[in-house]
């Protein structure tokens, strides 16, 4: 795969003379995105985090021989021949409760009242269930036989010492935290979450959720990007300590955009100002103060996407149009966040393979991101244009990727659908 052609430092009002391929952009991201450092976090905050190294058990779980039933601990051989018509009598000499074991050794003809999970007393090797016995305070009458080891849990039955319990790279689930706790871990080493500064540019934008005022409109990309960053294991940062401490919105001003891009973060995502318009400052700023590795990609939508580095930060320049922003995030910025955080670089979307209800048209030489609906077991294309129509993603069930070497797919062709629902 040949490397991307270095883009011009300023394409404003000139257009793109060359576009990199999606594959070139992905290869650049993969080369830049090594895992972040480890950190120890409390078990109470570890759900959903990525395990940094293998967890090997240094003990047996459980560590004791314990009862698996409520009943009576005794010697199995002494129950032979017991039945409701031949009740065998034992002396009850005490009890064993979870955390409060019986002290001493059980002798022949004796039994200990025992609860589920309690340690099995010395001298016993089986448990007679309570429903198969009759008892007074001091006497037990066995109504059935029990074999040695019956209703008894042995050390290491759950986890054996030396076993690799959880492997590095695992996204920790709630039940994993229970295992870690049972092994005596109060903290766990995980990959640090990438800090992602979200910068939304545009003089026309109002804070998310505002009422539109004249030609000014509420921002849609900020909340969407913050949720996507969280989905991919990152920590969205919506404020900066520079010129705009109370807002993630930045005007179309070169100094303001540069200050926002210099945030304390692992990744900076700039939405808006990435194309070839007069006020699209972000690409030339990145080229002047850092590295603009790629600008302009052969895909639809999201063609004006750019990416590069500013000191230690990865910077992604996403289009301001909402669908283009979503598409470029999923293809590029989200991949970098997942890689830095130790996750799989692949999309976290469920996939289904179904036939097309009608023809899906594309153009050779570019990758198309086609929004689709699922109707009666078939894939219905909604649109592969209209990058500002965000509602096309909310009415869609998912999307289909049409490869750069394809003119599309005929009706009836089975295609892979990436579902928006998590």
Same domain, 109 and 146: yes
Choice between 245 and 238, residue whose per-residue pLDDT is larger: 238
Could you tell me which residue, 89 or 281, shows the higher pLDDT?
A: 89
Asked if pLDDT for residue 243 goes beyond 60, the answer is: no
Q: What is the per-residue burial (b if ≥16 Cβ within 10 Å, else e) of 301-320? A: bbbbbbbbebeebbbbbbbb
* 385 contacts: CB under 8 Å, gap ≥ 6: 300, 301
Record the tokens describing residue 403, joined without a space: 């490869």
What is the pLDDT confidence band of residue 45, given thresholds at 50, 70 and 90? Answer: very high
Residue 1 lies in a domain: no
Can you tell me the mean pLDDT for 236-242?
70
Cβ-count burial 51-81 (b if 16+ within 10 Å, e if not): bbeebebeebbbeebbbebbbbbbbbebbee
Mean pLDDT score, 249-267: 92
Assigned domain for 259 exists: yes
Inform me whether the pLDDT recorded for 245 exceeds 50.
Answer: no
Per-residue pLDDT, 331: 96
CATH no. for residue 175? 3.90.105.10
Same domain flag for 187 and 197 = no
Residue 362, pLDDT > 80, answer: yes
- Give yes or no for a contact between 40 and 187, defined as CB atoms under 8 angstroms apart: yes
Q: How far apart are the first and last CA of the chain?
A: 33
Beta strands 267-271 and 195-201: pairing type? parallel
The least confident of 104-118, 213-227, 380-394 is 380-394
Structure tokens at 296: 């302009």
Q: How many whole angstroms separate alpha carbon 259 and alpha carbon 285?
A: 10
Average pLDDT over residues 336-363: 96
The answer as to whether 14 is a domain residue is no
SS3 assignment, position 63? coil
Are 173 and 265 found together in one domain? no
Q: Are 347 and 43 in contact (CB under 8 A)?
A: no
Same domain, residue pair 50 and 162:
yes
CATH number at residue 393: 2.40.340.10
> Mean pLDDT throughout 8-23?
70
- Confidence tier at 395 by pLDDT (50, 70, 90): confident
Q: What is the CATH number of the domain that holds 121?
A: 2.170.190.11
Provide, rounded to the nearest whole percent, the portion of the chain with pLDDT above 90.
81
Model pLDDT for residues 71-103, shown as the tens digit of each residue: 999 999 999 999 999 999 999 999 999 999 999
Residues 6+ apart with CB under 8 A from 131: none
Helix (H, G, I), strand (E, B) or coil at 179: helix
The whole-number average pLDDT for the span 46-71 is 96
pLDDT at residue 172 in the model? 98
CB atoms near residue 362 (< 10 Å): 21
Q: Is 16 part of any domain?
A: no
DSSP 332: I
Which pLDDT belongs to residue 388? Answer: 58
β-pair type (133-135, 139-142)? antiparallel
103 within domain boundaries: yes
- Number of domains the chain contains: 4
Q: Which of 224, 235, 196, 195 is nearest to 319 (CA)?
A: 224
Q: Note the pLDDT tens digit of each residue in 189-234.
A: 999 999 999 999 988 888 888 898 888 988 999 999 999 999 999 9
Structural domain harbouring 403: 351-419
**Confidence band for 17, pLDDT divided at 50, 70 and 90:** low
Q: Check whether 159 has a pLDDT greater than 70.
A: yes
Whether residue 106 sits in one domain with residue 186: no
Distances in whole angstroms, Cα of residue 287 to Cα of each of 11, 253, 283: 11, 16, 6
Do 181 and 287 lie in a common domain?
no
Poorest-pLDDT segment among 47-51, 208-212, 282-286: 208-212
Residue 178 falls inside a structural domain: yes
* Same-domain check for residues 55 and 102: no
**How far is residue 365's CA from residue 140's CA, in Å, rounded to a whole number?**
84
Please name which of 185, 96, 74, 198 lies closest in space to residue 140, comparing C-alpha atoms.
Answer: 74
DSSP string, 309-331: EETTEEEEEE-SSHHHHHHHIII
Are 101 and 111 within one domain? yes
Q: Kindly state whether residues 281 and 316 are assigned to the same domain.
A: yes
What is the Cα–Cα distance from 281 to 269, expressed in whole angstroms? 14
- For the ranges 20-34, 171-185, 244-258, 277-291, which has the lowest average pLDDT? 244-258
Q: What torsion, rounded to 10 degrees, do the Cα atoms 396, 401, 407, 410 define?
A: -60
Shared domain check, 395 and 266: no
In a domain, 183, yes or no: yes
* 329 plus 413 within the same structural domain: no
For residue 26, the domain's CATH number is 3.40.980.10
pLDDT at 421: 85
Q: Which of 191, 207, 239 is the last residue of a domain?
A: 191
Q: Does residue 214 sit in the same domain as residue 306?
A: yes
Q: Percentage of the chain with pLDDT > 70?
A: 91
Q: Is residue 225 assigned to a domain?
A: yes
Q: Between 382 and 88, where is the model more confident?
A: 88
At 244 the pLDDT is 47
pLDDT > 90? residue 12: no
Q: What is the mean pLDDT of residues 25-32?
A: 97
């Amino acid at each position: 795969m040949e490397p991307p052609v270095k883009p011009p430092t300023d394409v404003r009002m000139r257009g793109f003379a060359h576009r990199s391929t999606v594959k070139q952009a992905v290869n650049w991201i993969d080369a830049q995105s090594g895992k972040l450092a480890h950190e120890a976090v409390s078990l109470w905050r570890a759900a959903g985090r990525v395990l940094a190294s293998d967890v090997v058990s240094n003990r047996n779980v459980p560590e004791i021989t314990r009862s698996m039933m409520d009943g009576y601990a005794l010697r199995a051989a002494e129950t032979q021949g017991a039945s409701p018509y031949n009740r065998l009598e034992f002396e009850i000499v005490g009890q064993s409760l979870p955390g409060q074991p019986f002290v001493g050794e059980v002798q022949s003809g004796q039994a200990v009242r025992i609860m589920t999970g309690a340690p099995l007393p010395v001298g016993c090797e089986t448990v007679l269930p309570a429903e198969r016995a009759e008892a007074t305070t001091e006497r037990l009458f066995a109504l059935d036989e029990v074999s040695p080891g019956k209703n008894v849990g042995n050390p290491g039955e759950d986890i054996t010492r030396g076993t690799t319990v959880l492997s590095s790279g695992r996204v920790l689930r709630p039940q994993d935290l229970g295992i870690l706790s049972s092994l005596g871990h109060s903290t766990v080493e995980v990959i640090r979450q990438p800090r992602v500064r979200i910068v939304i540019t545009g003089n026309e934008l109002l804070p998310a959720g505002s009422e539109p005022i004249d030609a000014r409109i509420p921002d849609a990309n900020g909340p969407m990007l913050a949720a996507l960053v969280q989905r991919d294991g990152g920590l969205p940062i919506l404020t900066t300590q520079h010129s705009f401490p109370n807002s993630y919105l930045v005007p179309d001003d070169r100094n303001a955009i540069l200050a926002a891009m210099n945030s304390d973060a692992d990744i900076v995502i700039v939405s808006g100002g990435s194309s070839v318009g007069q006020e699209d400052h972000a690409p030339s700023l990145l080229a002047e103060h850092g590295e603009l590795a790629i600008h302009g990609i052969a895909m639809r939508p999201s063609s004006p996407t750019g990416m590069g580095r500013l000191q230690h930060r990865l910077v992604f320049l996403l289009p301001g149009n909402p669908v283009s922003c979503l598409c470029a995030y999923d293809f590029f910025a989200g991949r970098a966040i997942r890689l830095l955080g130790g996750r799989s670089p692949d999309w976290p979307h469920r996939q289904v393979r179904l036939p097309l209800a009608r023809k899906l048209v594309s153009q050779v030489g570019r990758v198309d991101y086609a929004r689709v609906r699922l109707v009666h077991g078939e894939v219905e294309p909604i649109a592969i244009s209209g990058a500002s129509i965000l509602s096309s993603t909310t009415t869609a069930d998912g999307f289909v990727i049409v490869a750069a070497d394809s003119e599309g797919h005929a009706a009836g062709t089975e295609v892979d659908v990436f579902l928006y629902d998590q």
